[in-house]
Chain A
Amino acid sequence: MSLSTDDVQKVARLARLAMNDDEIEAARSQLSGIFQLIEEMQAVDTSGIEPMSHAQDLTQRLREDRVTEPDQRELFQSIAPQVSSGLYLVPQVIE
């Protein structure tokens, strides 16, 4: 399977990446290479094998439900581009 320019443009839009035509073409060819690799792997017979969802065969450790984090708003907001009345400010979002 090889990707079309449209496919790449769509993925770029979803990932909020601004790409020019040259970059789109370069990405298209690289991504198509990855798809070829996937196709090769698809040929392996995996019937009867449970899919893994993580590279490590371990399970999640759980944390006790306790509040451990103090208020560090001042510290965090000291590196924010813009804040007002405790809020982080971003360019206006209109639904």
Chain B
Amino acid sequence: MTWETVIGLEVHTQLSTCSKIFSGASTAYGAEPNTQADAVSIALPGVLPVLNKGAVERAIKFGLATGAHIAPRSVFARKNYFYPDLPKGYQISQFDLPVVGMGQLKIQVEPLSGNAKPYEKLVRITRAHLEEDAGKSVHGAAQGMTGVDLNRAGTPLLEIVSEPDMCSAAEAVAYAKALHTLVRWIGISDGNMQEGSFRCDVNVSVRRKGEPLGTRREIKNLNSFKFMQQAIDFEVQWQIDTIESGGKVQQATVLFNPDTGETRAMRSKEDAHDYRYFPDPDLLPLSITPQMIDEIRSAMPELPEARRMRYMEQYALTSYDASMLTSSREMADYFDSCVSNLGMTKLAANWITGEVSAQLNREGLEIAQCPVSPKQLGGMLARIADNTISNSGAKEVFRTLWSEGGDADAIIEAKGLKQVSDAGAIEALVDEILNANADKVAEYRSGKEKLFGFFVGLAMKASKGKANPAQLNDILQKKLAV
């Protein structure tokens, strides 16, 4: 029996405004508890919400970036439930009239298993709406008590709801990553997952091929892509096992435990979904004019997908390289400022996605913190391109640029890394080696071809590693063939 998986995502992304969505309290992360919880955040009687223009602008930006309809009129609603980190007893959200309507996002899927090839997919985004974040409960703050920190209460959120268009963990992760790249790229969120700026809820169901949709379970609050993949894999297998052994999947909210790699149903809160939404009488309908949209549109940056396509068309980069380079705007900008002439695009792509990224990963740095500036790297790439240094020489230059700074030309000079590309000099060197090893030359010519490496090694050693490898190979091959 073949099973199909159906996945939809709800992503809560904190918007990067400096003040809260309905008040002028700061949203800075990491402050002392409740020092950023003003009268509105703690819901003192008589306070009124006043909507933050910055939050609305960011929602519009997102709508434009996903080709969505921006509602000229949208409405805030109260979502009622009781929890200590929500002192009003309701969350201000949007219900039937959200600010952003149906849009879409193109994703690049890297299948996780086997020899399957990467592919492209379009995921529909049902809607995106503005709402306020809740505070944080601190359990075990005092004996028998729960502590409440309301600094986060009122931080603007954009909740982005997808259609159930994904059918594997790989697709869900690819979508979440593309969304994560996008919100940072257009500057509406810092996307910091450790700090909770980008939180994913994943709805998963399974069905036998051709049957109607199965019952879904919602995995709450995933804050890493790795956990998302593990949680979905476990959940899918659990649902299939449950049904195949004669059971039924009950609709539920589940939590993922990273230590065990398992998902487990939360104790179901009675009437948890009876939120009794109604329009918030404290807030008038939000009106968005075409002028406001045009103003924001004119300031939109080139989007990651457009930049990716441009790299492939204009620079003839592979889809993989183009995706890697557009994984963040900082990375793409780094690449752009590195590439001072078109001839070096492939070389720059290789270095940035290879050596530079590897070194950043090793040291846990972001591209924006890279100690080697694009100008410094570009200077080095130019010396690779004009054959001044070999690849291994370049690695040494790069290590020096990374740890000591400076510029490539000076390092090449100081360390004597200039490679010998003078054909005459290399020929002389090769002749000397072949003469001194006549026995090996005879063996090679009688068919022992793997000796070629032996000659290359000797020649490199004789040149102190400076011989141009491509030229050396050519000359050796020619001389040995005679």
Q: Identify the A interface with B (CB < 8 A).
A: 10, 13-14, 16, 53-56, 58-69, 71-73, 76-77, 82, 84-95
A-B contact pairs, 6 of them (CB 8 A): A14-B276, A59-B286, A60-B284, A69-B36, A73-B37, A84-B145
B33 within 8 A of A: yes
- A72 in contact with B38 given A62-B56, A93-B83 (CB within 8 Å): yes
3 closest A-B pairs (Cβ-Cβ)? A65-B54, A68-B24, A87-B147
Q: Which residues of B contact A90 (CB under 8 A)?
A: 84, 145-146, 148
What is the 8 Å Cβ interface bit string for chain B, positions 16-27, against chain A (1 contact, 0 not)? Answer: 011100011110
CB distance from B287 to the nearest CB of A (A): 4
Q: Which residues of B contact A62 (CB under 8 A)?
A: 51-53, 56
Q: In the complex, what residue of chain A is closest to B57 when comparing beta carbons?
A: A65
Interface on chain B toward A: helix, strand, loop, or mixed SS?
Answer: loop
- A10 in contact with B53 given A86-B35, A89-B141, A93-B137 (CB within 8 Å): no
A94 to B145 alpha-carbon distance, docked (Å): 10
A25 to B32 alpha-carbon distance, docked (Å): 48
Q: Which residues of B contact A68 (CB under 8 A)?
A: 19, 24
How many residues of chain B get a CB closer than 8 Å to chain A's CBs?
56
Q: Identify the B interface with A (CB < 8 A).
A: 17-19, 23-26, 32-39, 42, 44, 50-56, 73, 75, 80, 82-84, 97, 137-139, 141-142, 144-150, 266-267, 270-271, 274, 276, 279, 281, 283-287
Q: Does the CB pair B82–A73 fall under 8 Å?
A: no
Interface on chain A toward B: helix, strand, loop, or mixed SS?
Answer: loop
Q: Which residues of A contact B270 (CB under 8 A)?
A: 13
A18 to B181 alpha-carbon distance, docked (Å): 49
A10 to B39 alpha-carbon distance, docked (Å): 32
Q: Which residues of A contact B75 (CB under 8 A)?
A: 53
CB distance from A14 to the nearest CB of B (A): 6
A36 to B73 alpha-carbon distance, docked (Å): 32
Q: Which residues of A contact B137 (CB under 8 A)?
A: 93
Interface centre among A53, A67, A69, A82 (most CB of B within 10 A): A53
Q: Which residues of A contact B145 (CB under 8 A)?
A: 82, 84, 89-92
Q: Which residues of A contact B141 (CB under 8 A)?
A: 84-85, 87, 89
Cβ 8 A contact of B147, one of A56, A65, A77, A84: A84
A62 to B130 alpha-carbon distance, docked (Å): 14
CB distance from B143 to the nearest CB of A (A): 9
Q: Does the CB pair A65–B32 fall under 8 Å?
A: no
Q: In the complex, what residue of chain A is closest to B281 when comparing beta carbons?
A: A54
- A86 in contact with B17 given A54-B281, A63-B50, A65-B54 (CB within 8 Å): no
Q: Which residues of B contact A64 (CB under 8 A)?
A: 53-54
- A86 in contact with B146 given A60-B284, A93-B83 (CB within 8 Å): no
Q: Does the CB pair A10–B271 fall under 8 Å?
A: yes
Interface centre among A61, A66, A92, A95 (most CB of B within 10 A): A92
